[in-house]
Chains A and B, each alone.
Chain A
Amino acid sequence: MKTLCASYRNELDKLFVNKKYTVFLVIGILICMGKIGVLWAVGAVSKGTVNLKISNLALEMLPFFAEVLVPLVVFMAATDLMCTEIQDNTMKAMLLRPVSRFKLLISKTLAAFTVGAVNFIVILIACTVLEAIFGDASKLWGYVGNNAAAYLIDLIPLFVLVLMAMLVNLISKSSTLAMFLCFLIYAVMKYCNYFVIWAGSALFTSYSQWHKLWIGTAIPFSAMSSKIFLLIGSAIVFFTAAYYLFDKRDF
């Protein structure tokens, strides 16, 4: 456990020293501010005829972050920790330490996931603060708990996405190709249900906005269990395949 923690801290250090992840956090906050700005501008231009009020900004912004921005960030993190390190030969630094490849893969996965989770948390806090300032603060407290739960639930499919990104990185020979493949595979999985109907319920990417299934109307557990097992199954398949490739690889 100690070596796993040491390895995890190292992977996190490597990511957080990279300024691009901070830039993406700032971009996320700016997008939320932009949304408020647009609502305000519409009201100002129409001279009050169209009055768009800020209502639950955090939940409104969640689909964009869960499906676009945060996946982009975790793909970058996974690529930085896996493919880039293999490519520039720095992976050896960790492999020559007393940490097994199994633990190393887990720590890399957790570190990439943590970056995504931090993004979610910062966006949630930013949206809540912005709404408290520019919106109706009295209503805000009514759904702040619900919003936190929604963000928390959406972390589950995000973890599976990180595992998929790790696998893609182990297949790819360059970091550029890895990023491209991550996006391509994600986009194909995400939107193939428009062409193949059954794919909508059979692929884990359909649940990137998982909170919609949990928050709001109650869904019977039997119906949900198949979706839970689909996510668990996908996670196991991705991790097993990634570990197999990582373990047998010569460096």
Chain B
Amino acid sequence: MECVLEVKGLTKLYKNGRGVKNISFQVEKGDVLGLLGPNGSGKTTIMKVISGLCRKDSGEIKIFEKDAEENFEECMRKIGCLIEAPSIYGYLSAYKNLSMMSRFYDSVGKTEIEKLLETVRLSQYKNDKAGRFSLGMKQRLGLAMALLSEPELIILDEPANGLDIEGMIEIREIITKLAAERGITFLVSSHLANEIEKTCNKVAVIYEGELVSFATMQEALELNPALEDYFLSTVKEKRGNIII
């Protein structure tokens, strides 16, 4: 299997001492890897470092077997990201937001933008200013911006944030469909075990800035009735180690 993303010994510590320490994992083509962990565990930090928003202290990140820092532009051409709240220019329309971003890609034109707006159900609001959108609409526009370049790797940080039940199911369906039909690889983070369980085929548990476990969904659910139980058992193990 082709390795899409390789993180080796990644360490990023903030001034307050929080961050992530010695994180290593691999994501293969077509995988939907879920980063599961409580708030503040370091999921977003990992994603920010991978996407170049934060500078790492040490470690190595390879995207399609190329160093992400040295080949930044080349790597980012193959990646779509939605990290934390979607970054949208509120004073521009949804269409203008997307058309501005499309300038960086040769293959994206008006037709692709229109199609994408339809996919995220924003076609009828395409000329409205994005600042007036509801949280869910902004999230959908953010998702459209991540999908814009038809990326081979998509990084989604809490993609269901602010979405209603229908919206959450839609996002889940989009991820599953893209992974199955186009072989797009996903790195998704969430603090909701149920969400990860339904969306991903692999799971990495992040706890207090460390990678506690990495397993396929099948392995995780072998001895546990739900991913929630798997999470609790691995975290308990980790806590036990600390006490010892």
Determine if chain A interacts with chain B.
yes
- B97 / chain A contacts, CB cutoff of 8 Å: 93
CB within 8 Å for A17 and B55 given contacts A96-B81, A100-B72, A100-B73: no
Q: Is A51 an interface residue (CB 8 A)?
A: no
- State the CA gap A14–B89 with chains docked (Å): 9
- B182 / chain A contacts, CB cutoff of 8 Å: none
Q: Are A91 and B103 in contact (CB under 8 A)?
A: no
Q: Are A90 and B87 in contact (CB under 8 A)?
A: yes
In the complex, the chain A residue whose C-beta lies closest to that of B74 is: A98
What's the minimum C-beta distance from A85 to chain B, rounded to whole angstroms? 9
What's the minimum C-beta distance from A170 to chain B, rounded to whole angstroms? 15
- B48 / chain A contacts, CB cutoff of 8 Å: 250-251
Q: Is A6 an interface residue (CB 8 A)?
A: yes
Q: Is B77 an interface residue (CB 8 A)?
A: yes
Query: What sequence of 0s and 1s flags, for each residue 104-126 of chain A, a beta carbon within 8 Å of any chain B beta carbon?
Result: 00000000000000000000000
Q: Which parts of B52-95 form the interface with A (CB within 8 Å)?
A: 52-55, 72-74, 76-77, 79, 81, 83-85, 87-89, 91-92
- State the CA gap A250–B49 with chains docked (Å): 9
Q: Is B101 an interface residue (CB 8 A)?
A: yes
Q: Is A146 an interface residue (CB 8 A)?
A: no
Q: Is A18 an interface residue (CB 8 A)?
A: yes
- A226 / chain B contacts, CB cutoff of 8 Å: none
Q: Which parts of B88-129 form the interface with A (CB within 8 Å)?
A: 88-89, 91-92, 96-97, 100-101, 103-105
- State the CA gap A96–B96 with chains docked (Å): 17
Q: Is A92 an interface residue (CB 8 A)?
A: yes
- A6 / chain B contacts, CB cutoff of 8 Å: 103-104
From B52, B85, B91, A89 is in contact (CB under 8 Å) with B85
Q: Are A17 and B91 in contact (CB under 8 A)?
A: yes
CB within 8 Å for A89 and B92 given contacts A96-B76, A250-B53: no
Q: Is B145 an interface residue (CB 8 A)?
A: yes
What is the predominant secondary structure among interface residues of chain B facing chain A?
Answer: loop
- B76 / chain A contacts, CB cutoff of 8 Å: 96-99
Q: Is B185 an interface residue (CB 8 A)?
A: no
Q: Which parts of A2-24 form the interface with B (CB within 8 Å)?
A: 3, 6-7, 9-10, 13-14, 17-18
- A149 / chain B contacts, CB cutoff of 8 Å: none
- State the CA gap A92–B146 with chains docked (Å): 12
Kindly name the residue among A13, A14, A92 whose own CB sees the greatest number of chain B CB atoms within 10 A: A92
Q: Are A9 and B89 in contact (CB under 8 A)?
A: no
Query: What sequence of 0s and 1s flags, for each residue 31-59 of chain B, a beta carbon within 8 Å of any chain A beta carbon?
Result: 00000000000000000100111110000
What's the minimum C-beta distance from B95 to chain A, rounded to whole angstroms? 13
- State the CA gap A93–B96 with chains docked (Å): 13
**Besides A9-B103, A92-B87, A93-B87, 15 new A-B residue pairs in contact (Cβ under 8 A), listed by A number:** A17-B91, A89-B85, A90-B89, A93-B88, A95-B52, A96-B53, A96-B76, A96-B83, A98-B73, A98-B77, A99-B104, A100-B72, A250-B14, A250-B48, A250-B53
Residues in chain B within 8 A of chain A (CB atoms):
14, 48, 51-55, 72-74, 76-77, 79, 81, 83-85, 87-89, 91-92, 96-97, 100-101, 103-105, 145
